[in-house]
Amino acid sequence: MSGPQHTASTIRAAGCVLWRRAPDGGGGVEVCLVHRPRYDDWSFPKGKLKRDEEPLAAAVREVLEETGHHCVPGAPLPTARYLVDGRPKEVAYWAAEATGGAFEANDEVDRLLWLTPEATRVRLTQPRDREQLTALLAALPRS
C-alpha cells in the first residue's frame, strides 16, 4: 500500500543491553534479561520516555527501575523499530555495564536472569532483539 505514512505518533522508548563480567573470572560476560509478566516475555530492560526526557537518561532510569542495578552506558546499539497496535515504536538502545545493585521483583518485572550470550540469544522472546545482542558483543571491550 503506497501513500503518505500514517499520522499516528511514534512511541519513543529507550533501554540498555545490560552486561557484567561473568563471576567465574573466565573473562566472559553475562547479559541481563528481565521477565515482564504483563507480556510474559524475556527482553532487555527498556521503557517509554517521559516528556522532554533524553533517550539515554530514560534508558539508565529504566535499567535501575526494572533491574535494581546501576550502570555505566557505553556504545549506542541499533535502534529497534516495530509496530505496537498499529503504531510505530522506536526503542533506542545502549550497551551498559552493570556497576552494582540488587534485583527486587516489582509490578513490571517479576524475574531477572544473568545469562551467557548464547543462552541470552535463545531465551529472548522477540527474535528482533538479537540484533542488539549481536551489536553488544561486537562493541564489548576485549579483556
Which of 70, 46, 69, 65 has the alpha carbon at shortest distance from 106? 65
pTM above 0.85, yes or no: yes
Long-range pairs, 35-38, Cβ under 8 A, ≥24: 35/109, 35/110, 35/111, 35/112, 35/113, 36/108, 36/109, 36/110, 37/110, 38/108
Residue 48 has pLDDT above 60, yes or no: yes
What mean pLDDT, rounded, does the chain reach? 93
Q: Which amino acid is at 23?
A: P
Question: Which three three-digit cell numbers place residue 38?
Answer: 504483563
| Local confidence band at 1 (pLDDT 50, 70, 90 cut-offs) | very low
Distance CA 120, CA 139 (A): 16
All structural domains of the chain, each given as residue ranges with its CATH number in brackets, are: 11-139 (3.90.79.10)
Half-sphere exposure of 134 (CA within 13 A, CB side): 7
Partners of 33 in the beta sheet? Answer: 113
Decide: 53 and 46 in contact? Cβ < 8 Å. no
Q: What pLDDT is stored for residue 2 in this prediction? A: 46
- Among 64, 35, 27, CA closest to 140: 27
pLDDT tens for each residue of 73-128: 999 999 999 999 999 999 999 999 999 999 999 989 999 999 999 999 999 999 99
